[in-house]
């Protein structure tokens, strides 16, 4: 059977490999700087765990393979300018925005977008890095080096942040997971809850938005759509043409994880509607040392990425799934005792939002 090669050798590629094992599909994550040559067969397929990569010997070989799935989509979504243009073209609600060109100054941004404006670097930003708030009251100016490198967005006074993970197969069929409710602290995803009964009302709007995108791009595989919920409606914040952190809960909470969905789609295997098991909580492990006490908590499923622990770095996550709210709550209470700042507020948020 053909192999699935992955551009990038981080945790997402590793979890694709893990998910593909029971199917005996070989997934081979490739480090950008891998020195030994990669030798692809004609019928192998290539996917990516990231939307932008440096040009190296390894990435050149992988990205020029005829079966590099979604080849045209990556550059289009990796640049926030062309990503926002696509959303506008498809008339999908998103935060009003403007390109920061060579001469754009703050006053014109305040005039068109309001008195608080968020600059986002066009490429390379993640976990809230590559963002800069402009405030009219403080007379903030567009910083040096951001001209032609950023877009400006209106500040959205959202109620909460949700995300939808969906997949499209080669025949064009669409599959969606239930929306996840996400908590970000300082721009980093800390926890997700899915499904949530109170989000059922915006599920179909979300599916329509992502479905339109997947179909118009003739996309194959998993894509994630981060949204702001504002009242009864959604606005797209950003898109990720890959498996996504806010979909990690599907590893324990769904009959088919997002990783397996992605592999099935790109490998051309049959897809089916995932069956959701109870309710799930995903706690991201950000800059914390591994603690094996987590393993003693009933229902806790640890994914430890084996990376060096650094402040603000994603080093693992824990999934919990249950059909019993009391069981989920008692496990979370037990888990919470072993976490440093700012986790107490994360566990409080989870407890407040469950059910
Ligand atoms: P990720 O790690 O998800 O890729 P990122 O660095 O690409 O993050 P965004 O998702 O665009 O950045 O923004 C990070 C967070 O900043 C959002 O989750 C949200 O909390 C906040 N944010 C982004 N855009 C806006 C906006 N227009 N108005 C208000 N808050 C915003
Ligand atoms: Mg992003
Ligand atoms: Mg984001």
Checking if the pLDDT of 355 tops 80, the result is no
Pocket test for ligand 1, best of 95, 127, 238 (most atoms within 8 A of CB): 238
Looking at residue 342, its pLDDT comes to 94
Protein residues within 5 Å, CB atom, of ion ligand 2: 238
Query: pLDDT digit string (tens) for 16-45?
Result: 999 999 999 999 999 999 988 999 999 999
Looking at residue 128, its pLDDT comes to 87
The ranges assigned to domains in the chain are: 4-68, 96-154, 160-354
233-258: string of b/e by CB count within 10 Å (b at 16+)? ebbbbbbbbbbbbbbbbbbbbbebbb
Q: What is the CATH number of domain 4-68?
A: 3.40.50.20
In contact, 166 and 225? CB cutoff 8 Å: yes
Task: Supply the pTM of this predicted model.
Answer: 0.97
Three-state SS at 51: coil
Nearest CA to ligand 1 atom 12: 128
Q: What is the CATH number of domain 96-154?
A: 3.30.1490.20
Distance CA 88, CA 196 (A): 29
Sign of the four-CA dihedral 61, 64, 69, 75: positive
Checking if the pLDDT of 111 tops 90, the result is yes
Predicted ipTM of the assembly: 0.98
CATH architecture, domain 160-354: 2-Layer Sandwich (3.30)
Tell me the mean pLDDT in the region 41-67.
97
Residue 84 assigned to a binding site: no
């Amino acid at each position: 059977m053909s192999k699935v090669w992955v551009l990038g050798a981080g945790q997402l590629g590793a979890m694709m490999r893990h998910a593909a094992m029971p199917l005996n599909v070989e997934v081979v994550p490739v480090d950008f700087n891998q020195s030994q040559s990669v030798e692809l067969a004609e019928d192998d397929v290539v996917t990516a765990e990231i939307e932008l990569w440096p040009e190296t010997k390894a990435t050149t070989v992988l990205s020029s393979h005829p079966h590099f799935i979604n080849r045209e989509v990556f550059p289009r979504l990796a640049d926030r300018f062309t990503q926002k243009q696509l959303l506008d073209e498809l008339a999908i609600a998103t935060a009003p925005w403007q390109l920061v060109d060579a001469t754009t100054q703050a006053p014109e941004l305040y005039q068109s977008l309001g008195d608080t404006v968020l600059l986002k670097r066009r490429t390379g930003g993640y976990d809230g890095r590559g963002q800069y708030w402009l405030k009219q009251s403080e007379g903030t100016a567009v910083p040096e080096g951001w001209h032609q490198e950023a877009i400006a967005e209106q500040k959205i006074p959202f109620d909460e942040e949700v995300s939808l993970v969906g997949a499209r197969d080669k025949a064009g069929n669409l599959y969606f997971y239930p929306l996840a409710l996400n908590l970000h602290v300082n721009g980093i995803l800390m926890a997700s809850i899915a499904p949530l009964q109170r989000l059922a009302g915006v599920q179909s709007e979300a599916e329509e938005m992502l479905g339109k995108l997947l179909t118009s791009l003739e996309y194959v595989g998993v894509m994630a759509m981060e949204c702001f919920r504002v009242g009864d409606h959604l606005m797209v914040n950003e898109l990720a043409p890959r498996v996504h952190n806010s979909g990690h809960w599907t590893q324990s909470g769904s009959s088919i994880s997002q990783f397996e969905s992605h592999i099935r789609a790109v490998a051309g295997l049959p897809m089916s509607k995932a069956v959701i098991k109870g309710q799930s909580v995903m706690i991201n492990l950000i800059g914390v040392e591994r603690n094996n006490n987590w393993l003693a908590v009933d229902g806790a499923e640890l994914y430890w990425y084996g990376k060096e622990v650094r402040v603000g770095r994603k080093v693992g996550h824990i999934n919990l799934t249950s059909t019993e709210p009391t069981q989920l709550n008692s496990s979370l209470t037990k888990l919470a005792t072993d976490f440093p700042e700012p986790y107490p507020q994360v566990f409080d948020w989870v407890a407040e939002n469950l059910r």
